[in-house]
Amino acid sequence: MFLSRCGPLALAVWALGAAAEPIAEPGEGSTVVVTATRTPQAAFDVPASIDVIGGERFHDDTLAVNLSEGLADVAGLLARDRQNYAQDTQLSIRGFGTRSAFGIRGLRLYVDGIPASQPDGQGQISHFNLASAGRVEVLRGPFSALYGNSSGGVIQLFTATGGAPTVYGGFAGGSFDTYRENVGARGTLGIAGRDAGYNVAFSNFQSEGFRDHSAAERRSFNGRSDLHLGAADTLTLVLNVFDSPEALDPLGLTRAQFEAKPDAAAPQATQYDTRKSASQTQGGAIWEHRYSERQRSELLAYYGHRSIEQFLAIPIATQTNGPGAYLHSGGVVDLGTDYGGAEARWHYRGGSDERPWKLVAGLAYDDLRQHRQGYENFVGSEVGVKGALRRDEIDTVWAFDQYLQADWRFAERWNLTAGVRNSRIVFASDDHYVTARNPDDGGGKDYSAVSPVAGLMFRASEAMRLYGSYGRGFETPTFAELAYRPITQVPDPNDPSQTIAQAGLNFDLKASRSDNAELGAKFRFGAGMHAQLAVFDAETRNELVVLSNSGGRTVYGNAGRTRRQGAEAQFGGRFAGDWQFDLAYTLLDARVREDYQTCTGTPCTALNATVPAGARIPGIAESNLYGRLAWGRDAGWHAGVDVRYLSRVAVNDVNSEAAPSYAIVGLDGGYVFDLPTVRLRTFVNLDNLLDRDYIGSVIVNDGNGRYYEPGPGFAVLAGFGLEWKY
């Protein structure tokens, strides 16, 4: 077993810590996080793998559009830029989330406390405004279970607010006619004798894209204000607006197409003009009230609306001909989604300064109502246009969760953190497209789970922490995964001698359950260096897998058992004055533990192959390495070089194809002018310096065999950022 092989190392680290000198409290410079414990706490003292990335990583010297730009040095996390803005960035943590064909699965996502994950577990980050980011927290492993419907981790973005009045902005431009402009303001105002911190930012992005038929444009506004209403009350208001009027979809490529021309679009992309438009507006409020130094409460409420229209590459014949084909939902997806929710949370701190304890209790309710319509993607012989209605339903899902979490320092060196979350998630579908041959396919499904978590932290010394944690997570199917039931033939009501394919939602799907365990160590060396080591094991039952995939219709089922186990190592910090070094490595062995049946072929329509125990879970690389060496300070010249390596990645359940391993090198540099009231930052980035052809991301189990989404060749990006403090 992997953890048994790592056991001697873990025991050696534990023994070293036990013999170390007495501990001291973290200083004011310690990075404070809230994601794991829901109370401000030094990341160094949290019994979990958690990273905090400063906002400057996402908006200084970058395109400041993709969250993946700032997450490369987080071990255990794989952020893959798809070079396809009609789909979201691919995010996975410890192998959870890699199966998602679109959007983000298996992770919980938040912006300023507002969920960016729907109650069914489907998430998206396209509306994350990076120009105004203050920090991003990434939680991996067992403690993510305390956030509900996920198994892999939690990613939270927090908007920066307060400080001296500042106007900021910037521009970046480069290869593939890519441009980004942003402007914003932040600071603190005095209103009626009270302080009010604020941050507002607007970003505009456009690109012709690395690949053919991949042009896109996006506009994003984000605003946050923290109003201090008195000594005991703070009201935080947030508003986010996102608009993507058009993002062309180049689709994936077969291996032969990739090798022939990596920057090409699939022929079907141009034939059917595959594309997507999306818009979203959401707002929220968070009220915090302090009853005393020991007790406080928080109340959050939010509401939003999102609209999506997407044109797919589904042939006319698939929608109109063959047995049961008239039940096809069409090649145009039209979604209108209203969502909202509320959360109430209570904090209490008791005990003495030497033996403190903390308690957090909360209730959370999230609700989504989605009007899903499907249309033919043709009119007559013209394709790529909206045609006749083929699907019309109202889908709703709500989640009601209760949680309790406690932290107790029961001895000088020991902390115990434990919690439990009770979740209920209810799906319902109301079918409005009912014909003689298409009966009412409505229905519903109720899922529930209790998720316990516990972690033990040993404060070995001022410079070392050792911990272990365990938790049980769960994931429900999303509405996209429930969309189609396995194809079975039933008598045609108009002609009993004929059969038709049964339609409707697949409410036979079960939720998957995962048992997650982790052992880790955290180190601080001197004033500027730090390190994290962790070994982990996650065993899942009823994992969702593909049963068939053809004509835009993907049917899912539940497999038996799967296992993800591995190790993570991070090391970095400043040394020798002007030098900075960062290294992150992930070793991940993800395999099937029980045989199950799947389909093969293009398209695949029937269970005709066995996935044997021991097969690799597709979409997951065994090794992921990132290293960066940089020179410079906050002002003057700066430069850096980075290397990214990813091992081969299986792209389907039977492991018959795989994306090859790759290594790419990047180089960057610039100059910062730091004047009394103005700060000007200039930069130039050279990516993929050796112009390697590589697969940037994969589409797991694609029904047409178009698994591969190429990464860009040699690319240049240059720009500047300006701050004026007045």
Distance of alpha carbon 261 from alpha carbon 254, whole angstroms: 11
Give 156-203 as a DSSP string: EEEE---SS-EEEEEEEEEGGGEEEEEEEEEEEEEETTEEEEEEEEEE
In-domain check, residue 650: yes
Secondary structure letter of residue 423 according to DSSP? E
Tokens of 12: 């050696």
Distance of alpha carbon 507 from alpha carbon 479, whole angstroms: 10
> According to the model, what pLDDT value does residue 140 have?
94
> According to the model, what pLDDT value does residue 433 have?
85
Distance of alpha carbon 262 from alpha carbon 66, whole angstroms: 21
Distance of alpha carbon 325 from alpha carbon 263, whole angstroms: 34
Q: Given 3-state DSSP classes, what are the helix, strand and coil percentages for the chain, each rounded to the nearest 5?
A: 10, 55, 35
In-domain check, residue 444: yes
Is residue 216 a contact partner of residue 249, using CB atoms and an 8 Å limit?
no
Q: Of 514, 515, 416, whose CA–CA distance to 468 is shortest?
A: 416
Secondary structure letter of residue 617 according to DSSP? P
Output the CA angle 595-598-603, nearest 5 degrees. 160
Distance of alpha carbon 24 from alpha carbon 352, whole angstroms: 17
Is residue 591 a contact partner of residue 585, using CB atoms and an 8 Å limit?
no
Helix (H, G, I), strand (E, B) or coil at 584: strand
> According to the model, what pLDDT value does residue 495 have?
62
Q: Which residues contact 203 (CB under 8 A, 6 or more apart)?
A: 64, 65, 129, 130, 131, 180, 181, 182, 218, 219, 220, 221
C-alpha Rg value of the chain to the nearest Å: 26
Distance of alpha carbon 702 from alpha carbon 612, whole angstroms: 20
Is residue 118 a contact partner of residue 104, using CB atoms and an 8 Å limit?
no
Output the CA angle 391-395-399, nearest 5 degrees. 160
> According to the model, what pLDDT value does residue 500 have?
54
> According to the model, what pLDDT value does residue 11 have?
35
In-domain check, residue 379: yes
Distance of alpha carbon 517 from alpha carbon 49, whole angstroms: 12
Tokens 């004011």 correspond to 28
Strands of 11-98, DSSP E: 32-33, 41-42, 49-54, 77-80, 90-93
In-domain check, residue 384: yes
Distance of alpha carbon 11 from alpha carbon 17, whole angstroms: 10
Q: Of 426, 376, 372, 421, whose CA–CA distance to 399 is shortest?
A: 426
In-domain check, residue 30: no
Distance of alpha carbon 175 from alpha carbon 163, whole angstroms: 35
Tokens of 144: 């993510």
Look up residue 28 and give its amino acid: E
Q: Domain range holding 628?
A: 2-24+166-725
Tokens 């304890």 correspond to 357
> According to the model, what pLDDT value does residue 498 have?
57
Output the CA angle 448-484-115, nearest 5 degrees. 45
Q: Could you give the number of structural domains in the chain?
A: 1
Distance of alpha carbon 639 from alpha carbon 720, whole angstroms: 15
pLDDT beneath 70: ranges in the chain: 1-30, 151, 192-193, 321-327, 436-437, 487-503, 551-552
Distance of alpha carbon 316 from alpha carbon 477, whole angstroms: 29
> According to the model, what pLDDT value does residue 485 have?
79
CB-based burial, 379-403: b 16+ in 10 Å, e otherwise = eeeebbbbbebbbbbebbbbbbbeb
Any idea what the CATH number is for the domain that residue 676 is in?
A: 2.40.170.20
> According to the model, what pLDDT value does residue 3 have?
43
Distance of alpha carbon 675 from alpha carbon 672, whole angstroms: 10
Distance of alpha carbon 401 from alpha carbon 145, whole angstroms: 12
> According to the model, what pLDDT value does residue 24 have?
38
In-domain check, residue 560: yes
**533 backbone dihedrals φ, ψ, rounded to 5°:** -130, 140
